[in-house]
């Protein structure tokens, strides 16, 4: 069906890469969250030039544009009632560089595919969202996605090396080029000045400076990465890092080079079952100190949502109402390294309030099953929700040593005040680097 906006967009893109049929618009009206906005058109640009023209079109016609890669966002980041710019088809280049120490990606490259390319070098990207098999690099960077092992030190913000970006006025820069720093200062003078002024204000106010430093030591993926103002001096570096987590609101990420992290060949994984959630929370710090690379907390309600799925550990169904679990993983380059870590675990094991002895496994299938439990938790919780209700997922962050109290309070709050029912599922993401 031809539409007025479709006709106008044909000045930028060929008709076959512009969708305005109702069925296409409805199909694109949701991402993985529960919000719904029907776009006026869905377009599939192939080149930076087309993106620049779309940005100009947006300004000229006062119609917002929103980028989408895989559309796995949970808070409405990749939906719009303007023009939806779909990058999932034509922006999937992946180039390994420096023997796998860095990788160059376009926004439509799927995170898991990038890791498949890196596997033979023993490397992987830092961010490891549970959605990595679908999520693409544009979204991973723009949401500052993190996950189960990356903590706050190996997330998108900290592992991005260079970014090539396009501003709403079409100006294109890359942090890989010294000349572009000069160009940015001259050609985007107003922006350069404003960023510099903001930085000076922040740096000269110790209270604000320290607050930012403190806040970003804990997981913090909500809002702009304002830590860029204290981590970088050069305005273009500040802007490049503000783009990480900006959810596409500041500009278009055309390409990025990421520093990769070690993909340890040896792993030992266990699901530890605790008498209650408080004991599970208390175990996080000693486990992390013992060397665990991942410590994922799941409360009883979350476990209930997956207990009937084929292959789940039988014990889950028998757990008492108060129980909780920690998925714990140790990583090493060699078996010897793992043995040292296991000895550290055994040294603390007697002090953990476990419902049964810890059984670590090195069998890939069993490890994959444990991770399937954790990664499938959100869809599983959604699937067992009461008819007519919806599921909302937002991240909250606490210092690790307050987690037990925080979760107890939250459970009480959801039970007594917000939801007059028993189902509140808490899933927190913990990693060594959060300490």
Torsion angle, CA of 425/385/354/286, rounded to 10 degrees? Answer: -30
Helix (H) / strand (E) containing 374: helix 364-375
Q: Is residue 370 within 8 Å of 288, Cβ to Cβ?
A: no
Q: Is 173 in the site for ligand FAD (CB under 6 A)?
A: no
Q: Is 69 in the site for ligand FAD (CB under 6 A)?
A: yes
Of these, 73, 304, 403, 425, which contacts ligand FAD (CB under 6 A)? Answer: 73
Of these, 248, 291, 313, 404, which contacts ligand FAD (CB under 6 A)? Answer: 248
CA distance 398 to 434: 10
Of these, 146, 220, 227, 367, which contacts ligand FAD (CB under 6 A)? Answer: 146
Residues numbered 75 to 134 that lie near ligand FAD (CB under 6 A) are: 77-78, 87, 107, 129-131
Of these, 25, 43, 65, 70, which contacts ligand FAD (CB under 6 A)? Answer: 70
Q: Is residue 246 within 8 Å of 254, Cβ to Cβ?
A: no
Q: Is 136 in the site for ligand FAD (CB under 6 A)?
A: yes
Query: Which span (22-30, 67-75, 187-195, 414-422) binds ligand FAD, by CB under 6 A?
Result: 67-75
Of these, 20, 92, 115, 142, which contacts ligand FAD (CB under 6 A)? Answer: 142
Least distance between ligand FAD and beta carbon 403 (Å): 17
**Burial class for 310, CB neighbours closer than 10 Å (0-12, 13-18, 19+):** exposed
Under DSSP, the state recorded for 240 is H
Residue 14, both tokens: 């060929």
Residue 151, both tokens: 């903590």
Q: Is residue 22 within 8 Å of 38, Cβ to Cβ?
A: no
Least distance between ligand FAD and beta carbon 145 (Å): 3
Query: Which span (54-62, 248-256, 278-286, 364-372) binds ligand FAD, by CB under 6 A?
Result: 248-256
Q: Rounded to whole angstroms, what are the CA distances from 402 to 27, 153, 281, 285, 399? A: 42, 21, 9, 11, 6
* Stretch 208-247: interaction string toward ligand FAD, x if CB under 6 A: -------------x-------------------------x
Least distance between ligand FAD and beta carbon 411 (Å): 22
Q: Is 66 in the site for ligand FAD (CB under 6 A)?
A: yes
Helix (H) / strand (E) containing 430: strand 427-430
Of residues 138 and 332, the one with the C-beta less far from ligand FAD: 138
Count of residues that bind ligand FAD according to CB under 6 A:
35
Q: Which of 61, 2, 68 is nearest to 30 (CA)?
A: 68
> If you write DSSP's letter for every residue of 134-168 in order, what string do you get?
T-BHHHHHHTT---SS-TTTSSHHHHEEEEEEE-T
CA distance 83 to 64: 6
Query: Which span (64-72, 112-120, 331-339, 353-361) binds ligand FAD, by CB under 6 A?
Result: 64-72
- Coil, helix or strand at residue 95: strand
Q: Is 50 in the site for ligand FAD (CB under 6 A)?
A: no
Of these, 9, 12, 65, 74, which contacts ligand FAD (CB under 6 A)? Answer: 74
How many other β-carbons are positioned within 10 Å of the β-carbon of residue 320?
10
Residues numbered 350 to 389 that lie near ligand FAD (CB under 6 A) are: 378-379
Query: Which span (66-74, 112-120, 224-232, 315-323) binds ligand FAD, by CB under 6 A?
Result: 66-74
Least distance between ligand FAD and beta carbon 133 (Å): 10
Residue 127, both tokens: 């961010």
Query: Which span (17-25, 136-144, 176-184, 331-339) binds ligand FAD, by CB under 6 A?
Result: 136-144
Q: Which of 152, 158, 150, 89 is nearest to 124 (CA)?
A: 150
CA distance 166 to 169: 8
Least distance between ligand FAD and beta carbon 33 (Å): 8
Opening angle at CA 81, ends 78 and 86, nearest 5: 45
Residues numbered 281 to 340 that lie near ligand FAD (CB under 6 A) are: none
Q: Which of 279, 276, 284 is nearest to 401 (CA)?
A: 284
Q: Is 159 in the site for ligand FAD (CB under 6 A)?
A: no
Residues binding ligand FAD (CB under 6 A): 31-32, 66-74, 77-78, 87, 107, 129-131, 135-136, 138-140, 142-143, 145-147, 221, 247-248, 252-253, 378-379
């Amino acid at each position: 069906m031809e539409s007025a906006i479709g006709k106008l967009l044909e000045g930028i893109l060929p008709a076959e890469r512009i969708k305005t049929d109702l069925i296409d618009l409805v199909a694109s009206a949701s991402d993985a969250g529960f919000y719904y906005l029907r776009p006026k058109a869905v377009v599939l640009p192939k080149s930076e030039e087309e993106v620049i023209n779309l940005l100009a079109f947006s300004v000229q016609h006062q119609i917002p544009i929103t980028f989408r890669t895989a559309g796995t966002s949970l808070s409405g980041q990749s939906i719009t009632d303007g023009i939806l710019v779909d990058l999932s088809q034509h922006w999937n280049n992946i180039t390994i560089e420096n023997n796998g120490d860095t990788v160059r990606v376009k926004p439509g490259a799927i995170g898991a595919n990038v890791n498949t390319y890196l596997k033979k070098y023993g490397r992987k990207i830092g961010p490891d969202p549970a959605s990595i098999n679908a999520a693409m690099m544009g979204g991973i960077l723009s949401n500052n996605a993190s996950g189960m092992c990356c903590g706050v030190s190996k997330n998108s913000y900290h592992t991005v090396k260079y970014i090539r970006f396009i501003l709403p006025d079409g100006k294109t820069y890359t942090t890989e080029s010294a000349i572009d720093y000069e160009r940015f200062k001259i050609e985007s003078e107003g922006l350069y000045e404003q960023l510099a002024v903001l930085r000076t204000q922040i740096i000269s106010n110790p209270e604000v400076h320290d607050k930012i430093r403190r806040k970003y030591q804990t997981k913090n993926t909500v809002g702009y990465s304002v830590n860029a103002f204290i981590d970088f001096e050069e305005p273009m570096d500040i802007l490049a890092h503000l783009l990480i987590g900006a959810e596409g609101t500041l500009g278009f990420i055309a390409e990025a080079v990421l520093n990769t992290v070690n993909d340890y060949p040896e792993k030992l994984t266990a699901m530890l079952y605790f008498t209650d959630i408080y004991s599970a929370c208390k175990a996080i710090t000693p486990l992390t100190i013992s060397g665990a690379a991942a410590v994922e907390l799941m409360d009883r309600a979350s476990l209930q949502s997956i207990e009937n799925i084929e292959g789940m550990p039988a014990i889950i169904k028998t757990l008492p109402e108060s129980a909780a679990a920690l998925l714990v993983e140790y990583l090493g380059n060699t078996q010897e390294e793992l043995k040292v870590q296991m000895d550290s675990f055994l040294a603390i094991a007697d002090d953990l309030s476990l419902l049964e002895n810890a059984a670590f496994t090195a069998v890939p299938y069993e490890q994959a099953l444990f991770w399937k439990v954790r990664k499938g938790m959100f869809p599983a919780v959604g699937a067992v929700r009461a008819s007519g209700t919806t599921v909302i997922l937002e991240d909250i962050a606490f210092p690790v040593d307050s987690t037990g109290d925080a979760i107890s309070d939250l459970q009480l709050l959801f039970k007594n005040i917000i939801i007059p029912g028993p189902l509140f599922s808490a899933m927190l993401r913990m990693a060594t680097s959060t300490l």
